[in-house]
């Protein structure tokens, strides 16, 4: 299945400047954000290391990276295990001090 | 009781109003009962929810002795927290210096100047992250100035734990969801701490504005920023809302319910309606309270309230609209 991923300015050095990339992830057995990141890494080597880091015994999203699936922050829907379906929109953004502060 | 000793004492106790027309599509007659409620925070002394944390932070700093009459208060702000700080400082005889991203609306700058504030502009690229960075640098150069630092000041969240949360529960004992904007995270952290103790089944939902690319244009990822106040355990869902949905919803709120709100409220309403749709799907009754953070007055010049939604979206590109 094909997932559209929006890439923030700061990571476009890995995508040849592309704002948005389409990533093909295998749909068999259910697909998740981890699989998507591996697929991104295959197409754009180096990007994975900017998105995730080793922590304790596994890997985690980096602190200043936010990922949204259909506008929902993945940290509340399973983080790297967040499930993906065909046609989902994935947005990657650096964390900023937002809001009407 | 609506009599107060002074303007400063009149903060909080804002109305919670039902939104029958916006709620109607979620009530099919045979399905669950779903009601959406607006907490009108524009009814605070300077017209926004920021009056609560700002006045609490000032009060706390005075109590601790760090803030004394004649002091200089420094704060990074998109303007909304600055406005009540400037108002209180004017009454107390303090000087204020605010670091504001240059892509904030002119109305906020004018209001701040009226209350006697000095404004230091920080670069548009990087948005509020840059304002925080510049303010921290200035603070280091002026150790005698007082930075209240809303992103890490416990009094910010405490104002909501003691005020906003209890007020909502008293008015709506059947509340199931609370939805607010995510900036300093103070509103969500404070209200959540209150509900986690008083009514833990209430779901706490964050609506985060998604700006144009300029705001996320950091030099490197280590410049990213998560407010010190933020504790992800205290929220149950977090949604990113772009300018298009925010504008669409802020106009709907005016059209259907007569409420003229700021653009960030459109983003919050969008997330609240998402929760209503989920409740309908799962067949559960819901009483969803969301925050109207301020009125639309300070954002008229942004172009959000006129023309087509496409035109408004285009005008908001690059602006810190929330």
Query: pLDDT of A50-88, one tens digit each?
Result: 999 998 889 999 999 999 999 999 999 999 999 999 889
pLDDT in tens, B82-113: 999 999 999 999 999 999 999 888 899 999 99
Q: Determine the 3-state secondary structure of B262 from DSSP.
A: coil
Number of CB pairs, chain A paired with chain B, less than 8 A apart = 120
Q: Tell me, yes or no, whether A56 lies in a domain.
A: yes
Whether A10 maps to a domain, the answer reads yes
Q: Whole domain around residue A42: which residue ranges?
A: 2-94
For residues B192 and B158, what is the distance between their CA atoms, to the nearest angstrom? 11
Residue A100 forms part of a structural domain: no
Distance from CA of B303 to the nearest CA of A (A): 17
Q: Would you call A100 and B216 a contact, using CB atoms and an 8 Å cutoff?
A: no
CATH topology identical between B8-43+164-310 and B51-147:
yes
Per-domain residue ranges of chain B? 8-43+164-310, 51-147
Residues of B in contact with A63 (CB under 8 A): 224, 226
Question: Residue A57 is encoded by which pair of tokens?
Answer: 């015994």
pLDDT in tens, chain B (322 residues): 789 999 999 999 999 999 999 999 999 889 999 999 999 999 999 999 999 999 999 999 999 999 999 999 999 999 899 999 999 999 999 999 999 999 888 899 999 999 999 999 999 888 888 999 999 999 999 999 999 999 999 999 999 999 999 999 999 999 999 999 999 999 999 999 999 999 999 999 999 999 988 888 888 888 889 999 999 999 999 999 999 999 999 999 999 999 999 999 999 999 999 999 999 999 999 999 999 999 999 999 999 999 999 999 999 988 888 8
Q: In this complex, which of A72, A75, A97 lies closest to B232 when CB atoms are compared?
A: A75
Looking at chain B, which residue has its C-alpha nearest residue A6?
B213
| Count of structural domains, chain A | 1
Contacts of B76 in chain A (CB under 8 A): 101
B174 classed as catalytic: no
Q: Which pLDDT score, from 0 to 100, does residue A99 have?
A: 66
A48 has a chain B CB within 8 A of its CB: no
Active site residue B264: yes
Q: Does A96 touch chain B (CB under 8 A)?
A: yes
Rounded to the nearest angstrom, the minimum Cα separation between A56 and chain B is 19
CB–CB of A95 and B294 under 8 A?
no
- Identify the CATH number of the domain in which residue A11 sits: 3.10.20.30
Reply yes or no on domain B51-147 having CATH 3.40.50.1100: yes
- What's B28's DSSP letter? -
Comparing CB atoms, the residue among A94, A95, A101 nearest residue B184 is A101
Q: Residue B196 burial by CB count (10 A; 0-12/13-18/19+): exposed, middle or buried?
A: middle
Among residues B209, B173, B208, B171, the alpha carbon closest in space to that of B188 is found at B208
- CB contact (8 A) between residue A9 and residue B151: no
Residues 6-25 of A with CB under 8 A from B: 8-10
Closest residue, chain A, to B51 (C-alpha): A101
- Does the beta carbon of A46 lie under 8 angstroms from any beta carbon of chain B? no
Q: Which of B56, B264, B298, B315 is catalytic?
A: B264
ipTM over 0.85: yes
Q: Is residue A101 part of a domain?
A: no
CATH fold of B8-43+164-310: Rossmann fold (3.40.50)
Task: Provide the shortest C-alpha distance from residue B1 to chain A (in Å).
Answer: 30
Say if A99 falls within a structural domain: no
Question: B70 to chain A nearest CA, in Å?
Answer: 25
């Amino acid at each position: 299945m094909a997932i559209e991923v929006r890439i923030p300015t700061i990571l476009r050095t890995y995508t040849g400047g592309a704002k948005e990339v389409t990533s093909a992830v295998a749909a068999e057995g259910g697909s998740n954000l981890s699989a998507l990141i591996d697929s991104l890494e295959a197409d754009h080597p180096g990007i994975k290391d900017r998105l995730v880091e080793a922590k304790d015994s596994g890997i985690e999203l980096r602190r200043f990276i936010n990922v949204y699936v259909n506008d929902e922050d993945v940290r509340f829907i399973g983080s790297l295990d967040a499930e993906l379906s065909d046609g989902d929109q994935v947005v990657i953004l650096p964390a900023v001090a937002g809001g009407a502060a | 009781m609506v009599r107060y000793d002074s303007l400063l004492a009149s903060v909080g106790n804002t109305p919670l109003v039902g939104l029958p027309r916006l709620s109607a599509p979620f009530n099919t007659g045979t399905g669950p009962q779903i009601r959406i409620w607006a907490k009108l925070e524009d009814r605070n002394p300077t017209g926004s929810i920021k009056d609560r944390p700002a006045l609490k932070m000032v009060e706390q700093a005075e109590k601790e002795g760090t803030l004394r009459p004649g002091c200089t208060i420094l704060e990074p702000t998109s303007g909304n927290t600055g406005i009540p700080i400037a108002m209180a400082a004017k009454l107390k005889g303090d000087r204020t210096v605010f670091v504001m991203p240059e892509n904030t609306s002119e109305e906020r700058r004018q209001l701040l100047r009226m209350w006697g504030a000095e404004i230091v502009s920080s670069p548009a690229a990087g948005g509020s992250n840059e304002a925080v960075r510049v303010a921290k640098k200035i603070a280091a150069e002026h150790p005698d100035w007082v930075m209240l630092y809303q992103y890490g000041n416990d009094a910010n969240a405490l104002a909501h734990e003691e005020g906003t949360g209890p007020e909502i529960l008293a008015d709506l004992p059947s509340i199931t969801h609370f939805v607010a904007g995510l900036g300093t995270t103070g509103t969500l952290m404070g209200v959540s701490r209150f509900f986690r103790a008083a009514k833990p089944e209430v779901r706490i939902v964050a609506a985060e504005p998604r700006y144009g690319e300029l705001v996320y244009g950091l030099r490197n990822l280590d410049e990213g920023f998560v407010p010190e106040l933020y504790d992800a355990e205290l929220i149950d869902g977090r949604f990113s809302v772009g300018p298009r949905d925010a504008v669409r919803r802020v106009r709907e709120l005016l059209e259907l319910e007569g409420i003229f709100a700021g653009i960030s409220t459109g983003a919050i309403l969008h997330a609240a309606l998402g929760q209503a749709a989920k409740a309908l799907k799962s067949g559960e009754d819901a009483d969803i309270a969301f925050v109207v953070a301020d009125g639309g007055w300070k954002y008229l010049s942004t172009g959000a309230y006129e023309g087509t939604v496409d035109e408004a979206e285009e005008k908001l590109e690059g602006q810190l609209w929330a």
